[in-house]
A and B are shown apart, each in its own frame.
Chain A
Amino acid sequence: MTTIAPEDTAREAVFDATVAADERIEPRDWMPDAYRSTLVRQIAQHAHSEIIGMQPEANWITRAPSLRRKAILMAKVQDEAGHGLYLYSAAETLGTSRDELLDKLHSGRQKYSSIFNYPTLTWADVGAIGWLVDGAAITNQVPLCRCSYGPYARAMVRVCKEESFHQRQGYELLLALSRGTEAQHAMAQDAVNRWWWPSLMMFGPPDDESSHSAQSMAWKIKRHSNDELRQRFVDICVPQAEALGLSLPDPDLTWNDERGHWDFGPIDWTEFREVLKGNGPCNAQRINRRRQAHEEGAWVREAAAAHAAKHGKATR
């Protein structure tokens, strides 16, 4: 059994004051264990989402319909691998190795964003992911650039810059389809119909059901509630959909003059919980593919380590 030593109380006071003053906590600073584990959980989930998120988009690299689109898509998927790298590095500053986190992903002990458990069925899905999924991610992530933990906040500055490019390419891709042939327009509309509701679910459960939110807000890991961010996203998307010439699949979308926001219909949280539990269309496929790539790459990683050991240098 541990007792709280007086120096811990003093350190906690410094920590609290740093957070209260909107300054950054750095890796060498003392921090409460729960703060550390909350951050590791969140950063790991974010890193895992980046690398699992490569799959639905990589699904279209080999079929991209023009060389320009192919170059953009390859660069985007590469950026996601890069985001995975920064984020695993940010988690390492909290004392948790990439290998440990990958093990937890592969064994299902840590999660990734449920959105990637939906399939990319047509080329337009690449656009819908960029516009809606990356758009929702940016809405969630921009406030993280001011997160109280320094390495995470700094990683997010770079991630957000690249994500905003991703969002624009998705929008531009959909615009080309929407203004293209009848078949292209229909493809774009179908993709938006399928991705709209799952994108709204990306902000997490409603505020009154969100288990981690209150503490994260107090620690300034999180700055806005799930429902606030969701509303912000809807308000951004409605005029963009109109500019795209596409409709959003919600008959209840109406401007509420009193609130100054768009009202939207009820979200099917049963679907959200089912996908979260593992019953989405691609949960098993995504994780199996990740495990398979990792297992098939084991001999390569072992070779690199053996070579480094023989020649007395780091693997990379």
Chain B
Amino acid sequence: MRNATATPALPLGDDALILSHRLGEWAGNAPVLEEEVALANIALDLLGQARVLLSLAGDEDELAYLREERQFRNLQLVEQPNGDFAHTIARQLYFSTYQELLFEHLATTESELAPLAAKAVKEVAYHRDHAHQWTLRLGDGTDESRVRMQRALDALWRFTGEMFEPVEGLETVPWPALHDSWATRITHTLEQATLTIPDGPRRGGWTAGTGRQGLHTESFGRMLAEMQHLHRSHPGATW
């Protein structure tokens, strides 16, 4: 395996890979048939991005299936369990808003990621819009949906700070400006949805690090165990 940590394709590829996997867990469980199609669509777009990005960093399957938990560089946000539909939507709103802004920026740079970013930003705009529309429906729907949506936004808020910490190899990204645009867009969506902007801390109180440094949350190990089990059970096999 090449020294994969040298390229920013790895952390961004891991984000897409892991969120795609979580969304794939919805298959057969979505609240309405249209959402089976929509969630699978987003999962497939992200998996497509992950395959391009991981291939820039090395062999896609070796990277996905043979790394240990501490070698993954994805945000902790994307590995969070699906929870109810509101949690899935809140996670997507936070992440897709971030990813759209980041890819919009990368598309204008000389980075090796520019072609992928330029192509993917169109897909990501749809992902963000999907999450935005559902945030409006759930926030301004019934009493129950409002409570659930607010709870989800609050619960995931602590994973939003790490998105704007510098990433090795992405030194040209204006992180503070990206953060401000992100906050503006999220505020706009939540206000329109008659929801409250969470005001808790933006990261956990434990200062050891974040997903970008390979430090993950407990559910991530189980997710990887399931994802990697079959591949690892047949060393060297081709599929």
- A residues at B contact (CB < 8 Å): 51, 54-55, 58, 61-71, 74-75, 77-78, 81-82, 84-85, 88, 98, 123, 173, 176-177, 180-181, 183-184, 289, 293-294, 296-304, 306-308, 310-311, 316
Contact = CB atoms under 8 A, between A and B. Distances in A.
B155 interface: no
B116 interface: no
A299 B148 contact: yes
- Interface footprint category on B: 35 or more
A129 B32 CA distance: 25
A302 B31 CA distance: 10
B146 to A, nearest CB: 8
A183 B237 CA distance: 10
Nearest to B37: A81
**Main SS of chain B's interface residues?**
helix
B191 interface: no
Interface of B: 17, 21, 24-25, 27-37, 40-41, 43-44, 47-48, 50-51, 54, 60-61, 64-65, 84-85, 136-138, 140-142, 144-145, 148, 226-227, 229-231, 234, 236-239
A300 B40 contact: no
B50 A77 contact: no
A300 B85 contact: yes
A158 to B, nearest CB: 14
B222 to A, nearest CB: 11
B145 A302 contact: yes
Given A67-B47, A70-B47, A180 B41 contact: no
Nearest to A310: B140
Contacts of B35: 300
B31 A65 contact: no
6 contacts: A65-B239, A70-B47, A74-B44, A173-B239, A184-B234, A184-B237
Nearest to B147: A299
